[in-house]
Structure 1
Amino acid sequence: MITTRITFLLKDEGLPGWQVSALKQLCGYFRSIFVFYNLSRGKHTRLSQSLNVLSLKNSAGHLCQIAIEGLDAELACMVFTEYLSEQTILLSTSHRKNHAAEQLFASHPAFSLPFAYRWDYECHAGFADKLSALHYLAARIAPGQTRKLLEQFCLREKISTTALPNRVALPHVMSDAVATPVLMVMPLAQPLDWQSACAPVSLVIGLVLPQPLNREVVTAMTRLTRWLIDDLNVQLLLDAKREETLKGILLHVMAHSEPETSSEQSLTTD
């Protein structure tokens, strides 16, 4: 079954009732399933269930996504993208690259981190083994100190595996090989055995932090690592097919406080 996704920021009005009604009406034109995610609040529901959508308390600056699954998902994606590009701030869509995404990351507070950082991304065909993947990370992140950084990665793996149960590996170290935090993201075309009890890895997120750490960096990285524990959150990353989608989600998670979770549960899509 074809699945497409549109990721966007809400404007000053948030998502008012009339927009929810308009989106529900658009759903009726297609034989597809539409799921609405409010990534800022960690909640989701069927887009056709208007009251549930309104109950998510969608506010200005919230990062949202609509996932479309069905035989006409590609056509539906184009139609919804056209509508959302007028009513929201479009971040990414499955059927075309957003060349303005970098400008959005640099200027919108929804993605603003209070410190300098370096982003790197590559969709990789796959590695022969974990050591090859770590060597590649070290060479990309610190070309002049590859051996040193590789040794630090390997030492970290000896302490405990950085593979998570949900097909993500998060190799992370503190190192004087970098002057600013580095986040390198690599979706893998072929899953990689991370030599752990966890499932093979389909996404590697390399994180190298300079020494000494400051409070702002620690806060942002803690938000990220806690967010990655949730399988539903990770699935959003695994399903992302564009760099701007991954970058937008990860920056937004690091830039903002965790969603309200006490006494609240995500709405089901059944």
Structure 2
Amino acid sequence: MIERRITFIIGDEGIPSWKLNQLKILAGYFRAVVVMQNVTRLCQANAEQPVRIMSLGCMPGDLCQLLIEGSDAELACMVLTDFVAEQFLLVKTSGKKKNRNACSVVRSDKANSAFYLPFEMVILTQAVSAEQINLIQASDVKEMLLPRLCEMLNPDNPALLLEMMQEREQISSTCMGNEIALPHIMSVEIKQPAMAVIQLSQPVEWGSNRGPVTRLIAMVLPAPARRPHIEAFAHFSQALLEPDYCRLLTENTEPEAIKAVILHTLSRPFTVSCDTPKE
């Protein structure tokens, strides 16, 4: 079964009924199931049911995805991507050329409250293949993957973070359950908040009875942490307690989509008052 996803933000006018009807018509042309998924509110409805989509309560600034599955998924994705780019704010993906509605999600964006953070940070992603995982023994998983996370976060001096990461793991496993581990540290040696995501093509054990993991999401924070740092990362940590949210992180494979989901969640404490950010 072919699967494709289109990630976008709802604009100021929301989703009027004529857009939903157009989406229904376009989706009906293909041998594929198209589902509208509201990431912000963790709910979804089939594109063939416009009234059901309206009941999701989609609001301006909500992050959404079209999940497309079926034999025509690739062709449907091409057509629906053009529709989304015209009607909404399309989240930039590596496979699409830039357009007037494209939105990069790596940096905070005050003009776009869906991704606004009152501080600068970076989100990095990397994939590890099954072949790479099979080259190591199960007992060596952390020994291989923690250094890789630290190199992503601080390529000039990964050893600075590695020792702190290893000390944190010795206290207790950072496995959150639902296939996600959250290695995290706070230190005066860290100058800027950052996150690194490793996608694992097959589950690995992370020293916990909460099950194996397929996503490693490392967080580093400067110490002492500012209040906005704590609010953003606490909100993200709480979101990881929701199985549906974790499923979004583990099922998405496009780097920009993963960044969008994470950054949107980090920004939620600031969306109401983004014009007067907290200090």
Q: When the two structures are superposed, what TM-score results if normalisation uses the length of structure 2?
A: 0.85
**Inter-partner Cα distance in structure 2 for 1:151 and 1:65:** 38
2:242 to 210, 213, 230: 230
**Inter-partner Cα distance in structure 2 for 1:134 and 1:93:** 27
Gaps of 5+ in 2: 272-279
1:235-254 equivalences in 2 (<5 Å): 235-254=247-266
**Inter-partner Cα distance in structure 2 for 1:87 and 1:256:** 23
Q: Secondary structure at the match of 2:128?
A: coil
**Are residues 1:28 and 2:32 paired?**
no
Between 1 and 2, higher relative CO (CA 8 Å, sep ≥ 6) is seen in 1
Name the counterpart of 2:10.
10
Name the counterpart of 2:89.
89
2:186 to 174, 192, 197: 174
**1:164, CA displacement in angstroms?**
2.1
1:1-270 equivalences in 2 (<5 Å): 1-92=1-92, 96-97=95-96, 99=98, 100-102=102-104, 106=109, 107-125=111-129, 126-127=132-133, 128=136, 129-143=141-155, 145-257=157-269
**Inter-partner Cα distance in structure 2 for 1:101 and 1:124:** 26
**Inter-partner Cα distance in structure 1 for 2:79 and 2:252:** 20
- Taking only the aligned residue pairs, the percentage that are identical comes to 36
Name the counterpart of 2:274.
none
**Inter-partner Cα distance in structure 2 for 1:214 and 1:90:** 31
Q: Secondary structure at the match of 1:41?
A: coil
Amino acid at match of 1:63: L
**1:244, CA displacement in angstroms?**
1.0
Question: Mean Cα displacement is larger for which, 144-153 or 74-83?
Answer: 144-153
**Inter-partner Cα distance in structure 2 for 1:185 and 1:246:** 9
Deviations along 1:23-79, whole A, 9 cap, x unmatched? 112222122211111112221122212211101122211111110111111111111
Q: CA RMSD in A?
A: 2.3
Amino acid at match of 1:204: L
Question: Mean Cα displacement is larger for which, 225-234 or 186-195?
Answer: 186-195
Question: Mean Cα displacement is larger for which, 100-109 or 196-205?
Answer: 100-109
2:231/2:269 contact within 8 Å kept? no
Provide closer, same or farther for how the CA distance between residues 46 and 130 of structure 1 changes in structure 2, counting only shifts above 3 A: same
Q: Secondary structure at the match of 2:22?
A: helix
**Inter-partner Cα distance in structure 1 for 2:50 and 2:85:** 20
Amino acid at match of 2:121: Y
